[in-house]
């Protein structure tokens, strides 16, 4: 694997030793062609492209050994007093954490890739940093009170705030931002395909130990060093930042971006470090600490690095540098996925992470007609996400959406649902204004939390089980049965039947005659007592000739108690099915409903004697009431269930 010795340093120049070692650094644009060729090779660029890069970024330097360094000071722009998010500290972990936990923080504990925020000092030795400088290099711990041997409560609080902001910048990616040392083997690549890799962000000291003006540099990093064979830390000079946790965090993310192969985002006006516009700035630029700082693809006006798509570079395994894949989705991403999940309730909290501009989170809920309100929040420290909320109906049509204004980055939505039924809450990362005055949804990504209130109504479930005969000679007289329909939180208020030949009927058990041959579709729509509706269909075939269906019926129904423990038992019912000659039929699928002590639908298959036994779940022995079992359908090809022939269709237990 590579052993990078190139210094494309973010915000700074190449590292020196504890006793400053003087290394001759030449501006890359002024270097002789052999050195420029070596630099181009290091960056996988043609010589011409390298010369263009060097001319565009005059702080790029080259050392005699061919290492590349950005020797520059990223402008520190004052905060503008904006509040762009709310406190949703539970997204990363409950924060602020107890101060005793400061050096045991994790954003994704199970992720194999690690970004280690190292605040307690470190000795750099045997690395690419030591090639042009001395070995070892000692870096002092983070310190704002003159006592580097002990971390004060204020220093621990700053460390936690830095961690939270950096974790938000990297929230969409499958990487653990941690203050707990993973060990060198948890950072370097020990073999091809090793996934226990990462980078150390070394936060402490100042630039004096590299022979530079301490006020001049904020940090530096080796390009592409993430997950390399050596523990090459990204350096953040904490003395230059003081107690400004926001600037420290921004520099950490910026420097780590370089270890992943990213260069600076600049502009024609600001030069190498774009200060942003409005409330937005790029992470790989230099904006105010309270701006919406995001990854960029250099698509704003006057961009000097318009071909660099930050997220694509970070996640691309083909760059030749270390990479971080996007994290696995933690939410349903579309309507079909939401349909496969349990319904959400008003007391639920929907937490998740949007991982790209195209990522959405869908949550299905059932509601009565009337008011519905949702409130969504983003991270409080350095949010990258501007939240959008919308409600869609069961057909996917937009019902309502949150306002798209600027403040805050969180979102709220109030809507009047037009009817009872199923709806979807959709959570999205949105942009603000446009790419030149605000930002797009490209990197409007990160953690969110949503809560909501609405009048809960679970829609009914329509059933035609027990209808028949569904096949026979015209004129065919069919008894339809909707009694198997049920409402999980109310009652069925009405049954409406519609047939594809134009006939209609009402009630739970209408009888309809089909006079002519053909296939008809019967649609049952049930409405519950809160206005919720559900429909189901069943096909009926009337033939021109003799009916070939063989009749079958239920001849007995017996209910009994079956003990399962000293404190509970199960109610059972056994149904016996025979053919027209009275012979028992094995293999018949019986569908029955139970009501009373337990409500639901049960199924069983008949044995050789034609018997099928259905059973409830455990019922407490002290429970009093009835359990009524009723056959709704019997299915076995080529037989036809004819309930009119039944000698028994239900059985009841009392206690």
pLDDT at 563 over 70: yes
The reported pLDDT for the residue numbered 448 is 94
Q: Which of 39-53, 287-301, 501-515 has the lowest mean pLDDT?
A: 39-53
pLDDT at 21 over 50: no
| Overall average pLDDT of the 501-510 stretch | 96
> According to DSSP H, which parts of 139-269 are helical?
153-169, 245-259
The reported pLDDT for the residue numbered 406 is 58
Residue of 458, 456, 464, 425 lying closest to 532 (CA atoms): 458
Better pLDDT: 342 or 27: 342
Q: Could you give the CA distance from residue 173 to residue 444 in angstroms, rounded to a whole number?
A: 14
Four-way CATH pick for 335-456: 2.60.320.10, 1.10.443.10, 2.40.160.40, 2.60.120.380: 2.60.120.380
Residues 130-152 pLDDT 10s: 887 788 989 999 999 999 899 99
CATH 2.60.120.380 in the chain is located at 335-456
Q: Which helix (H) or strand (E) holds 49?
A: helix 47-56
Q: Which of 237-246, 256-265, 430-439, 517-526 has the lowest mean pLDDT?
A: 237-246
Longest dimension (CA), the chain: 106
> According to DSSP H, which parts of 194-287 are helical?
245-259
pLDDT at 499 over 80: yes
Four-way CATH pick for 471-543: 3.40.50.11710, 3.40.190.10, 3.40.50.1820, 2.60.40.10: 2.60.40.10
Helix (H, G, I), strand (E, B) or coil at 388: strand
Tell me the pairing of strands 476-479 and 511-514: antiparallel
CATH 2.60.40.10 in the chain is located at 471-543
pLDDT band at 218 (very low <50, low <70, confident <90, very high): confident
| Overall average pLDDT of the 46-53 stretch | 87
Answer whether CATH 3.40.390 is correct for domain 63-315.
yes
| Overall average pLDDT of the 15-33 stretch | 61
Q: Could you give the CA distance from residue 52 to residue 45 in angstroms, rounded to a whole number?
A: 10
pLDDT at 37 over 70: yes
Q: Could you give the CA distance from residue 554 to residue 642 in angstroms, rounded to a whole number?
A: 9
pLDDT band at 79 (very low <50, low <70, confident <90, very high): low
pLDDT band at 525 (very low <50, low <70, confident <90, very high): very high
Better pLDDT: 289 or 56: 56
Rounded alpha-carbon distances, angstroms, from residue 260 to 210, 234, 321, 427 = 23, 11, 6, 29
Q: HEC states along 532-566?
A: CEEEEEEEEEEECCCCCCEEEEEEEEEEEEEECCC
CA angle 263, 266, 270 (to 5 degrees): 150
The reported pLDDT for the residue numbered 75 is 66
Half-sphere exposure in the Cβ direction for 423 (13 Å, CA): 31
The reported pLDDT for the residue numbered 76 is 62
Our CA dihedral for 616, 617, 619, 625, rounded to 10 degrees, sits at: -30
The reported pLDDT for the residue numbered 482 is 95
Residues 564-611 pLDDT 10s: 677 788 999 999 999 999 999 999 999 999 998 888 899 999 999 999
With a CB cutoff of 8 Å and minimum separation 6, the contacts of 169 are 249, 253, 283, 293, 295, 382, 384
User: Percentage of the chain with pLDDT > 70?
Assistant: 89
The model's pTM is 0.72
Beta bridge partners of 68: 62
pLDDT at 3 over 70: no
pLDDT at 549 over 90: no
Rounded alpha-carbon distances, angstroms, from residue 519 to 466, 481, 537, 609 = 19, 18, 13, 34
pLDDT at 620 over 60: yes
pLDDT band at 171 (very low <50, low <70, confident <90, very high): very high
Task: Tell me 165's DSSP state.
Answer: H
CATH 3.40.390 in the chain is located at 63-315
With a CB cutoff of 8 Å and minimum separation 6, the contacts of 31 are 39, 54, 62
Tell me the pairing of strands 550-563 and 639-641: parallel
pLDDT at 86 over 60: no
| Overall average pLDDT of the 436-464 stretch | 92
| Dihedrals phi, psi of 336, to nearest 5 degrees | -60, -40
pLDDT at 93 over 60: no
Instruction: Compute how many other C-beta atoms are within 10 angstroms of the C-beta atom of residue 153.
Output: 9
Residues 9-20 pLDDT 10s: 333 333 333 344
Strand order through the sheet with 518-528:
471-473, 533-543, 518-528, 492-499, 504-506
User: Percentage of the chain with pLDDT > 90?
Assistant: 57
Q: C-alpha 8: how far from its chain's center?
A: 34
Four-way CATH pick for 550-654: 3.40.50, 2.40.160, 2.60.40, 3.30.70: 2.60.40
The sign of the CA dihedral 138, 261, 292, 278 is: positive
Mean pLDDT of the chain: 86
The reported pLDDT for the residue numbered 229 is 92
pLDDT at 244 over 80: yes
The sign of the CA dihedral 279, 283, 288, 290 is: positive
pLDDT at 174 over 50: yes
Q: Could you give the CA distance from residue 525 to residue 619 in angstroms, rounded to a whole number?
A: 32
Instruction: Compute how many other C-beta atoms are within 10 angstroms of the C-beta atom of residue 536.
Output: 17
């Amino acid at each position: 694997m590579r052993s990078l010795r190139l210094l494309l340093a973010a915000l700074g120049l190449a590292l020196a030793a504890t006793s400053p070692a003087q290394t001759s650094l030449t501006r890359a644009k002024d270097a002789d062609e052999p050195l420029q060729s070596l630099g181009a090779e290091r960056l996988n660029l043609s010589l011409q492209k390298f010369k263009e890069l060097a001319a565009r970024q005059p702080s790029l330097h080259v050392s005699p050994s061919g290492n590349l360094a950005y020797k520059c000071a990223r402008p520190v722009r004052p905060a503008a007093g904006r509040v762009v998010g709310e406190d949703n500290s539970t997204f990363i972990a409950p924060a602020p954490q107890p101060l005793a936990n400061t050096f045991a923080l994790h954003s994704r504990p199970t992720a194999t890739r690690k970004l280690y925020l190292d605040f307690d000092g470190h000795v750099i030795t045997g690395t690419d940093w030591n090639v042009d400088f001395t070995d070892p290099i000692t870096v002092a711990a983070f310190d704002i009170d003159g006592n580097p041997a002990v971390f004060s409560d204020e220093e621990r609080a700053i460390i936690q705030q830095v961690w939270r902001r950096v974790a938000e910048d990297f929230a969409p990616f499958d990487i653990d931002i941690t203050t707990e040392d993973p060990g060198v083997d948890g950072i370097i690549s020990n073999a091809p395909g090793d996934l226990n890799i990462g980078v150390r962000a070394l936060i402490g000291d100042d630039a004096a130990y590299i022979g530079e003006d301490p006020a001049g540099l904020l940090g530096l990093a080796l390009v592409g060093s993430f997950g390399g064979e050596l523990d090459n830390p990204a350096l953040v000079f904490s003395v230059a930042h003081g107690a400004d946790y926001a600037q420290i965090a921004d520099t950490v993310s910026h420097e780590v971006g370089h270890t992943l192969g990213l260069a600076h985002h600049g502009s024609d006006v600001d030069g190498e470090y774009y200060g942003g516009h409005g409330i937005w700035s790029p992470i790989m630029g230099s904006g105010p600490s309270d701006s919406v700082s995001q990854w960029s693809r250099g698509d704003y006006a006057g961009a000097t690095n318009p071909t660099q798509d930050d997220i694509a570079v970070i996640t691309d395994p083909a760059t030749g540098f270390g990479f971080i894949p996007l994290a696995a989705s933690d939410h349903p991403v579309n309507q079909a996925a939401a349909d496969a999940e349990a319904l959400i309730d008003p007391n639920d909290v929907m937490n998740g992470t949007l991982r790209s501009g195209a990522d959405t989170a869908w949550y299905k809920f059932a509601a009565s007609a009337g008011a519905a309100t949702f409130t969504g929040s983003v991270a409080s420290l350095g949010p990258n996400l501007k939240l959008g909320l919308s409600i869609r109906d069961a057909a996917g049509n937009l019902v309502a959406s949150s306002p798209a204004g600027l403040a805050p980055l969180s979102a709220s939505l109030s809507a009047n649902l037009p009817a009872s039924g199923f709806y979807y809450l959709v959570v999205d990362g949105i942009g603000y204004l446009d790419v030149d005055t605000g930002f797009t949804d490209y990197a409007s990504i990160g953690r969110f939390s949503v809560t909501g209130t609405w009048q809960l109504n679970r829609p009914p479930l329509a059933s035609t089980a027990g209808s028949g005969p569904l096949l026979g000679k015209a004129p065919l007289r069919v008894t339809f049965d909707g009694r198997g329909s049920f409402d999980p939180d109310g009652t069925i208020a009405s049954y409406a039947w519609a047939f594809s030949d134009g006939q209609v009927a009402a009630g739970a058990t209408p009888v309809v005659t089909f006079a002519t041959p053909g296939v008809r579709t019967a649609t049952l729509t049930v409405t519950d007592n809160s206005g919720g509706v559900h429909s189901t269909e069943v096909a009926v075939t009337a033939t021109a000739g003799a009916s070939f269906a063989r009749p079958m019926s239920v001849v007995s129904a017996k209910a009994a108690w079956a003990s399962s423990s000293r404190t509970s038992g199960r109610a059972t019912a056994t149904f016996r099915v025979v053919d027209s000659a009275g012979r028992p039929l094995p293999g018949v699928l019986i569908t029955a409903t139970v009501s009373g002590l337990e409500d639901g639908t049960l199924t069983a298959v008949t044995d050789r004697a034609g018997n099928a036994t259905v059973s409830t779940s455990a019922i407490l022995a002290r429970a009093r009431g009835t359990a009524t079992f009723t056959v709704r359908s019997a299915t076995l090809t080529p037989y036809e269930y004819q309930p009119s022939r039944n000698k028994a269709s239900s059985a009841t237990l009392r206690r």
